[in-house]
Amino acid sequence: MTTQEIQSIKLRFGIIGNAPALNYAIQVAAQVAPTDMTVLITGESGSGKESFSKIIHALSPRKHGQFIAINCGAIPEGTIDSELFGHEKGSFTGANEARKGYFEVTNGGTIFLDEIGEMPLGTQARLLRVLENGEFIRVGSSKVQKTDVRVVAATNVNLLDRVQAGTFREDLYYRLNTVPITVPPLRERGEDIYLLFRKFASDAAERYRTRPITLLPDAVPVLTRFRFPGNIRQLKNIAEQMSVLETERDVDARRLAPYLPQDQVSRLPMLLGPGAPDGATAGYSERDLLYKILFDMRRDMTDLKKMVLELATGQRPHEAQELLRQNSHLFNNSNTAPAGTFDSSQAAEYFLPAAPNTYNSEPATSYDDETPVEDIPHETEEETLSLDIKEREMILKALKKHNNKRKYAAHDLGISERTLYRKLKQYDLEQV
């Protein structure tokens, strides 16, 4: 596909930007549109996935058929089967008449299933039958009906992780993922951020009948460096806020900064695991990440203890006061000297574990280069790093806390009762 053809599609569907990843996604959508292949669109929330489903429908032979977009996460689990496949009169309470479902209504058209990862397992089995055979059954009926619908699905979660967790069918995943399209997040689109901002600011100015917001040269890099966790949706909101709230139409970096909430961007340590692409935390659960952070903190504290020992014994006299001043919050409490007063012997007593009497039997003396210095142990025996053992201990503590009431223990641990029962069986704790 030529550059001119891609630009023509952008103009037709109101897509702004020239990022290579965006152009490639548009090219794939245009190439797969004339076929009947199922497409899975992946991308973060607010990145514009629905626009690609419209491109696929409009450039396909089904363009004269109906197009329906459905958010699977917004439909209650008890009614989603009825919404998608229809129901017969009297099939459930409140079913006063028969109703056609979306797959029946859009026969010959395209159905866009957004947030497909939120679809219940039972509905996934029904959807798989539609994809495989073009057949479905209304709720409360035994009659098999046919439909000719093209399915385009989208998700902002990793479906393979859902497959491994048992909440998404593996066969449905591979059936949906016939042709994958990845929509890049806004933070990876470079100068597209400023182009989109100008478009949103112009639209807002036209709507509110005012002059458009203009970013001064020092504000543009501030905007393009922001990570935009809410992607295009968040950028549009910022442009509209500024259009309404700013009295000055020319905005510099200082006036722009309050509109970019830095607390939305996670600054937790990035962990590199085996096989994790580009520094991602693939393969790590939240529990693994928490333990890793705690172990790193413990190691840092051990290093700090060792340094304080050297300072207390006179090996680094000139660095003592500065180090103690920087770390005064670690040992300034009701039992120590007031803030701002530092005593190296007091700091050593705080940081170091109890030592044999021989350690304090003589005052500290200076050592020359020829005198060997005894290596004084400064750390207790290492605790076990086994996550299974830690998890088993946490489960036992929770059960003891709630008098073996598993429902409350599971709630306290932040897991489901089903997961707790599985863990009890795994760790042979069923008799507890």
- Give per-residue pLDDT as tens, 34-57: 999 999 999 999 999 999 999 999
Domain-located, residue 299: yes
Kindly report the number of other CB atoms within 10 A of residue 407's CB atom.
10
Stretch 380-392: mean pLDDT: 66
Where residue 139 sits, what CATH number does that domain have? 3.40.50.300
Same-domain status, 252 and 209: yes
Nearest 5°: phi and psi at 139?
-65, 130
Query: What kind and span of H or E run contains 124?
Result: helix 121-133
Q: How far apart are CA 391 and CA 423, in angstroms?
A: 9
Domain-located, residue 272: no
* 53 SS3 class: helix
Q: How far apart are CA 278 and CA 161, in angstroms?
A: 18
DSSP characters over 289-331: HHHHHHHHHHHHHHHHHHHHHHHHTTSSHHHHHHHHHHTGGGT
* 356 SS3 class: coil
Residue-wise pLDDT tens digits, 249-270:
999 999 999 999 875 544 444 4
Domain-located, residue 369: no
CB of 46 within 8 A of CB of 233? yes
Q: Which of 391, 381, 398 has the alpha carbon at shortest distance from 432?
A: 398
Same-domain status, 256 and 124: no
Domain-located, residue 370: no
Same-domain status, 199 and 180: no
Domain-located, residue 159: yes
Same-domain status, 197 and 177: no
What's residue 227's pLDDT?
92
Same-domain status, 122 and 139: yes
Same-domain status, 13 and 94: yes
Domain-located, residue 277: no
Q: What percent of the chain has pLDDT over 70?
A: 75
Q: How far apart are CA 405 and CA 210, in angstroms?
A: 63
Q: Torsion over CA of 424, 426, 430 and 431, rounded to 10 degrees? A: -120
Sequence-separated (6 or more) residues with CB below 8 Å from residue 309: 348, 351, 352, 376, 378
Q: How far apart are CA 28 and CA 32, in angstroms?
A: 6
Same-domain status, 17 and 160: yes
Residue-wise pLDDT tens digits, 405-422:
888 888 888 888 888 888
Per-residue DSSP letter, 417: H
Residue 376 has pLDDT above 80, yes or no: no
More confident residue, 177 or 273: 177
Nearest 5°: phi and psi at 261?
-70, 105
Domain-located, residue 432: no
Q: Taking the chain, what is the end-to-end CA distance rounded to the nearest angstrom?
A: 65
What's residue 277's pLDDT?
42
Same-domain status, 291 and 175: no
Same-domain status, 25 and 170: yes
Nearest 5°: phi and psi at 241?
-60, -45
Where residue 420 sits, what CATH number does that domain have? 1.10.10
* Joined tokens for residue 137: 């059954």
Split into its structural domains, the chain has a count of: 4
Domain-located, residue 30: yes
Same-domain status, 177 and 209: no
Same-domain status, 60 and 129: yes
Long-range contacts of 123-132 (CB under 8 A, 24+ apart): 123/80, 123/81, 123/84, 124/168, 124/169, 124/172, 125/169, 126/81, 126/84, 126/85, 127/84, 127/151, 127/172, 128/169, 128/171, 128/172, 128/175, 130/103, 131/38, 131/172, 131/175, 131/176, 132/175
Residue-wise pLDDT tens digits, 298-353:
777 877 777 777 666 665 555 555 555 655 555 454 444 444 444 544 444 444 44
Residue-wise pLDDT tens digits, 85-106:
999 988 888 888 989 999 999 9
Q: Which domain-ending residue is among 264, 295, 315?
A: 264
How far, rounded to the nearest angstrom, does the alpha carbon of residue 197 sit from its chain's CA centroid? 24
Tokens 């690609």 locate to 52
Q: How far apart are CA 414 and CA 287, in angstroms?
A: 11
What's residue 323's pLDDT?
55
Residue 389 has pLDDT above 60, yes or no: yes
- Identify the domain containing residue 112 by its residue range: 3-184
Residue-wise pLDDT tens digits, 199-244:
999 999 999 999 999 999 999 999 999 999 999 999 999 999 999 9
Same-domain status, 16 and 44: yes
Q: What letter represents residue 248's amino acid? A: E
* 160 SS3 class: helix
